[in-house]
Amino acid sequence: MLPPARPVTGLDTRGGGHRQRQRDLLMRELGLTAYEELHAWSVRQREQYWAWVVQRLGIHLQRNYGTLLDLTHGSEQPRWLVGAQLNIVRVVFAPQPSRRPSCFKRPTDRCRP
């Protein structure tokens, strides 16, 4: 049995900004017009919702998951991204074009923007 429905993290209407843009994007993709419809869909289609979230977050897995959500042992003991491997070093040190390069300096140097 799945736990009772509650607002899905990242989709609530209080967020604004980036959170709201992501919510609106998903609603357009699904052809939904109200947050309540999106919430109901995310509860009914839990695996589809979280697959979308993983894809939108840009989580680069070294090995993709075989099963997104395994509820074999009940909803109290879910297993997420079963079979996936994540190389945390690759994730942390991957180049991110949207960010300015870091400033590497000696303690006596000054970092200029």
> Residue 67 pairs with which residues in a beta bridge?
82
- Shared domain for 73 and 113, answered yes or no, is yes
* pLDDT tens-place values along the chain, 113 residues long: 444 444 445 554 455 577 788 888 899 999 999 999 999 999 999 999 989 888 888 788 899 999 999 999 998 999 999 999 998 888 777 766 665 555 555 666 666 55
Residue range of the domain that includes 70 = 60-113
- Shared domain for 40 and 66, answered yes or no, is no
Q: How many residues comprise the chain?
A: 113
- Shared domain for 2 and 51, answered yes or no, is yes
- Shared domain for 2 and 53, answered yes or no, is yes
- Shared domain for 70 and 104, answered yes or no, is yes
- Shared domain for 110 and 69, answered yes or no, is yes
Using only the alpha carbons of the chain, give its radius of gyration: 19
Cα(32)–Cα(27) distance, integer angstroms: 5
- Shared domain for 19 and 37, answered yes or no, is yes
- Shared domain for 43 and 72, answered yes or no, is no
Cα(93)–Cα(1) distance, integer angstroms: 40
Which residue, chain included where needed, has tokens 């074999």? 72
